[in-house]
Structure 1
Amino acid sequence: MSIRVAALWRHPIKSHGRESVDRVTLTEGETMPWDRRWAVAHEVSKADGSKWVACVNFSRGAKAPGLMAVTAKSNEDEGTVTLTHPRHGEITFNPDTQLRGFLNWVRPIMPADRAQSARILRVENRGMTDTDFPSISLLNIASNEALSEQMKMPLSMDRWRGNILLSGLEPWEEKTWIGKTLRIGGATLEVREEITRCLATTANPETGARDADTLDALNKRGHQEFGVYAVVTGTGDVAVGDTVEVS
């Protein structure tokens, strides 16, 4: 069976919604377009929007599991994002200019005992990934199926908030890819490192409630990683259904 792109996902506002796309142009040295384009700094964050900073500066699913249930839809022409939550409805806004409405909408989702969301930041030409380099995250559907079987419950791939979901692999085969080159559609990527997982993955992406101890299950396998980070080394188009070559 050939390795193929099963799905493509981006997250316009870091930790605040996932959005599927059919195709994307990946550019050398950059993140996926409109992926983590914005990030929500909390009230004790040191981020000022001048450069990339670590995820501890932002509101995120590891501390606010309710955020995991948010879905997103972008309008690139208008510069707006529509966020939807199963209990708190929908909001459409421009993250660059319409902060107050967003803060009012997101407040009920945030735990009262955590630092509250305060402002939205964007660093030009740099998605606010969890890595200090512009990364694309790759996930193996077969690894998720193996973990689901281990935990005796179905796990949605949405728990892992990846960019490129791959089918046609053996479970955990991606762990052997560090340092290898992938040809995905018309783009070339180099796999850099595995993705160490956090509490965000314990939350159900439909409800935002923590309902699965994914970290314990991973650690029982002797690691806490799921998926890999890669960097784009050759610009090109990638679409759902494209084949993947590993070298």
Structure 2
Amino acid sequence: MIIGNVKEIIRYPVKSFHGEKINQVNVLGHGLYGDRSHGFKTGDGKYLTQTQLPEMTTFKARFKGDEKPENYPPVEVISAEGTVFAFEDTALLERLEKLSKKRLTRIKHHPAYTPFGAIEVENILLVTDASIKYISHVLDNEVNHLRFRPNIVIDLYNKKPFSEQTWAGKRLKIGDVEVVIKKGCERCSIINIDPSSGIIDRTVLKTVFKENHNIFGVYAAVLKEGSVKTGDMITLHDG
């Protein structure tokens, strides 16, 4: 059954930084190529995230160069005031250490493998435009969907909010890719953070909790690797 198409693709080259919108991406067994492939860890071995440092979302990260299976292209980072860094720049590390008041270590994974610690629970996070529109309506304010840090935004044909939660255990075919829907995404305080300014609005998480039991979007595991591009048709199949 055709349920919609790919409205937007977003990946996050640096964990908890602002992501990049792309028109096409290769999907590997662990998720989108380059998604959460870089990051920063604190002395206790845990990732530094927006939970500890909301300002991380104001740093925009993107790949610059050819995307090869054997190594990632360089990652460019742009701060809120427009300063451009390479991921490896000492100045970027020092900036984050000053903001977080923590000693940090850079982390970079290989294209063939990114551990679950970097990408949370499952391979890919999907949200629908219908659910985004519904939450915006309840809040009486257009909610920036990047708060929810999705990998794929679905243009859902039936426009029924939260209908994606009925997909658990079913398969989606998206372009050349096939995934299985695992479960709903239980939300944390990160969705309160404005993805452009870092300003916190606690009504967002409260609204998601009230309207949909704190679930927004669904996690999917990759069954078949391939390529996905904006506009690709999405079909739903029984598990």
What TM-score results when the alignment is normalised by the length of structure 2? 0.87
Q: How does 1:101-120 map to 2 (within 5 A)?
A: 101-107=91-97, 110-112=99-101, 116-120=102-106
Distance in 2, matches of 1:99 and 1:84, equals: 12
- 2:75 partner letter: V
Distance in 2, matches of 1:176 and 1:117, equals: 43
- The residue that corresponds to 2:182 in the other structure is 192
What's the secondary structure of 1:221's corresponding residue?
Answer: helix
Distance in 2, matches of 1:117 and 1:245, equals: 46
Pair 79,235 (structure 1): closer, same or farther in 2 beyond 3 Å: closer
What's the secondary structure of 1:189's corresponding residue?
Answer: strand
Identity of aligned pairs, percent?
23
Distance in 2, matches of 1:188 and 1:20, equals: 21
- The residue that corresponds to 2:225 in the other structure is 235
Distance in 2, matches of 1:204 and 1:117, equals: 25
Distance in 1, matches of 2:63 and 2:35, equals: 11
Contact 1:91 1:105 in 2 (8 A): no
- The residue that corresponds to 2:53 in the other structure is 64
Pair 2,229 (structure 1): closer, same or farther in 2 beyond 3 Å: closer
Distance in 2, matches of 1:221 and 1:41, equals: 34
How far residue 234 of structure 1 moved from its aligned partner, in angstroms, is 1.0
Q: How does 1:80-229 map to 2 (within 5 A)?
A: 80-87=74-81, 89-93=82-86, 95=87, 98=88, 100-107=90-97, 110-112=99-101, 116-124=102-110, 125-126=113-114, 128-131=118-121, 133=122, 135-168=123-156, 169-229=159-219
Q: Which runs of 5+ in 1 are unaligned?
A: 47-56
Q: Which runs of 5+ in 2 are unaligned?
A: 67-71
How far residue 76 of structure 1 moved from its aligned partner, in angstroms, is 4.2
How many residue pairs get matched?
225
Pair 85,92 (structure 1): closer, same or farther in 2 beyond 3 Å: closer
Pair 74,66 (structure 1): closer, same or farther in 2 beyond 3 Å: same
1:136-155 residue CA offsets vs partner (Å, 9 max, x unmatched): 11111110110111111111
Distance in 1, matches of 2:40 and 2:211, equals: 33
RMSD across aligned positions (CA):
1.9
What TM-score results when the alignment is normalised by the length of structure 1? 0.84
Contact 1:91 1:102 in 2 (8 A): no
- 1:120 partner letter: R
- 1:24 partner letter: V
What's the secondary structure of 2:104's corresponding residue?
Answer: strand
How far residue 61 of structure 1 moved from its aligned partner, in angstroms, is 1.1
